[in-house]
Chains A and B, each alone.
Chain A
């Protein structure tokens, strides 16, 4: 039998609770007792008991009702029914609902030992099932990319497809949507999987340092270059290079990288000898690169070079149906990491998390769950555990009129094109005269 099995005895008769309590104590189990179904549910909320011994006849909530509730809320909990000879029909009913076994009071000592052995075996099977399921999910899906929304299903379909080619990929998505995870998944599914995956956040490095990191340098070419160092473009040799926040790199670096992508050669700083390189480039950005091209900060030819395949990762607010799945994933993750017994979120709290806008996307949700798990005193997270979340914007007190929507939209486009009426009218697909008329009629003004 398993030493770690945690057991709760639910019976209104103190003498039965006491007897079973002391018997299980002799095995070193974690044992708790409850005198009613209500007390049992209360205790289950706080601690994940794996095995319940439930008496059928109890005042208030009987054993059958408790069994139904337990099987709905905690389907993995093993329930064994204890019954007197007279209530054998109820025991049969209990087995149909999901009880694993039943014992007729009083039972022979070996009967209880046998039932415990079967329960232990069932627990082992459940564990193995969970383990195998987890392994299977890891094999068939991609580590840590969680989702079942149509948008994520589309990405799951795309990953193995695009992984087969060597074309450059551009990942678009707000911060925290999991761009690096998608990049890693593509690498893992590609023929380069056994070679390095190197991720660089271009936004975190000044231009000169980024150049040195990517291209490497010779000894003594600048202060502090005490020895020669190979750049990541060379180190990655055969693997995948992931450049995050590609929109942040300077025009000079864009030219340098463009040349590398075309020639497949690099020359380290201070050297004249070009070296052959072989890597697959995956870039990512949370910016609108089209706007960068328009205002000249991002090279169009470089954009097309890195954007052979584009994958748009939706923000969390556009795939809210994935939130319960993500919550479950993070609960498991932090349950293991923190060894805290927190494995549920109340329905109200789940609804709250689904209503929230998640400006920081999946990363923000993960942080929120981690924080709630660490601070929780119970096995179930409720609304109060997520009180630290920024409050969602208040819903509008009244719906906007069509004219108000039109006014807001035109104002936004004009601001985007710096009040260049020609460009704004093109974007709005109306002629310039009409736009001028609308600006006048709607009293639109340039914001300071």
Chain B
């Protein structure tokens, strides 16, 4: 029995291809067995633009999320097609606070292969789904995993991301399932995709 309690929200910020949102929602639903709802778009996050870096500060956007009413959603993933950064890093594919409520996924750097050539759209969407599932993992308090064959293994570049599988290792999968059961987001007979 699938729980209908508080679906994960997927919200576009600015212009984002609808297909990307649908792919992300489908992967969350398919891999984590959670209900997902695509929410109406939020405005372009101009407020987070850093003029020195020509990038958008992920921390500022996440902070801004706190003042938005996401009624009926405990976890919300913002998707945007902008270059994100956190102050210590040159860029990030996504950002989430450990055990927090909001996460971000950027499509901006996902469209090129490590050699600089454009990537096929199927690969771009797979990457976006991986980043979304990884960041959502952090929202459910999953840590970075030392197991390379795990979605929660840290990916610092596009090559790492491509080498990272889309599924969780046995340990992280057990942890997440336990977490979702406790939050009553998963039926006891349901399992996660491994």
Contact = CB atoms under 8 A, between A and B. Distances in A.
A86 B89 CA distance: 17
A108 B144 CA distance: 17
Contact of B143 (A20, A26, A113): A26
Contacts of B90: 106-109
B88 A106 contact: yes
B157 interface: yes
Given A15-B87, A16-B87, A108-B90, A26 B98 contact: yes
Interface string A1-30: 100000000000101101110110111100
Given A16-B88, A18-B59, A19-B86, A108 B156 contact: yes
Contacts of A15: 59, 87
Interface in A109-156: 109-113
B117 interface: no
Highest count of chain B CB atoms <10 Å: which of A1, A109, A110, A112: A109
Chain B: interface secondary structure? Answer: loop
A46 interface: no
Q: Which size class do A's interface residues fall under?
A: 20 to 34
Interface in B73-108: 85-92, 97-98
A25 B146 CA distance: 14
A28 B143 CA distance: 6
A105 interface: yes
A245 to B, nearest CB: 57
A2 B157 CA distance: 22
Given A19-B59, A108-B156, A27 B144 contact: yes
A390 B3 CA distance: 68
A103 to B, nearest CB: 8
Interface string B131-161: 0000000100001101000000010110010
Contacts, number: 58
A22 B102 CA distance: 14
Given A19-B87, A19-B88, A109 B143 contact: no
A254 to B, nearest CB: 67
A28 B160 CA distance: 21
A27 B88 contact: no
Given A15-B59, A15-B87, A19-B87, A110 B160 contact: yes
Interface string B60-80: 000000000000000000000
Interface string A372-412: 00000000000000000000000000000000000000000
Contacts of A109: 89-92, 154, 156-157
Given A110-B156, A110-B160, A25 B98 contact: yes
A232 B167 CA distance: 66
A82 B91 CA distance: 17
B85 A113 contact: no
Contacts of A26: 98, 138, 143-144, 154
Contacts of B143: 26-28
Interface in A59-112: 82, 105-112
Contacts of A1: 146
Contact of B89 (A25, A82, A106): A106
A28 B97 CA distance: 12
A196 B90 CA distance: 67
A28 B171 CA distance: 15
A223 B43 CA distance: 98
Nearest to A114: B156
A434 to B, nearest CB: 85
A430 to B, nearest CB: 81
Given A26-B98, A27-B144, A113-B154, A105 B160 contact: no
A367 B87 CA distance: 51
Contacts of B91: 108-109
Interface of B: 59, 85-92, 97-98, 138, 143-144, 146, 154, 156-157, 160
26 contacts: A1-B146, A19-B59, A19-B86, A22-B97, A23-B88, A25-B98, A26-B138, A26-B143, A26-B154, A27-B144, A82-B88, A106-B88, A107-B89, A108-B89, A108-B157, A109-B89, A109-B90, A109-B91, A109-B154, A109-B157, A110-B157, A111-B156, A112-B89, A112-B156, A113-B154, A113-B156
Interface of A: 1, 13, 15-16, 18-20, 22-23, 25-28, 82, 105-113
Q: When A and B form their complex, which 10 residue pairs have the shortest distance between CB atoms, in order from nearest?
A: A110-B156, A109-B156, A28-B143, A19-B88, A25-B98, A15-B87, A27-B144, A19-B86, A19-B87, A106-B90
